[in-house]
Amino acid sequence: MPEDKKAKTEETPTPTPTPEAPATVDVSLTVADLRNLRTIIDIASTRGAFRGAELKSVGEAFEKLDNFVKAVDAKAQAETSAASTPETASEQTPAEEEKK
């Protein structure tokens, strides 16, 4: 019987798993995500999710996030309005030139 035990222990060892490359994760953060975070903070504070001592830091983070989103929105609005207005007088329609 000792031979049987020896035969079982002499089996090939299980191979060690080779480390695989980590899965690629999308780490992008969009302005829409930031708007959602702003809404989440607002809802959570309305529902009393934060303690009194936490309110200052939550409020500061909310203000930074809110100001950033508003600045991005204002920049996008300015770019949109700049693209829709004519840049030179030569782009005016004949009706607009007759008024002059």
Please check whether residue 58 is in contact with residue 45, taking contact to mean a CB–CB distance below 8 angstroms: yes
Torsion-angle region of 87 (φ positive above 0: left; ψ -120 to 50: alpha; else: beta) = alpha
The average pLDDT across 80-95 equals: 65
Going by pLDDT thresholds of 50, 70 and 90, the confidence category of residue 31 is: very high
pLDDT digits (tens, 9 = 90+) for 58-82: 999 999 999 999 999 999 999 988 8
83 vs 59, higher pLDDT: 59
The average pLDDT across 9-29 equals: 71
Query: Using CA atoms, how far apart are residues 28 and 9, in angstroms rounded to an integer?
Result: 51
The average pLDDT across 9-35 equals: 76
What is this structure's pTM?
0.56
Q: Which two tokens stand for residue 73?
A: 């929105």
**What percent of the chain has a predicted confidence (pLDDT) above 90?**
50
Instruction: Convert 61-81 to b/e letters by CB count within 10 Å (16 or more is b).
Output: ebeeeeeebeeeeeeeeeeee
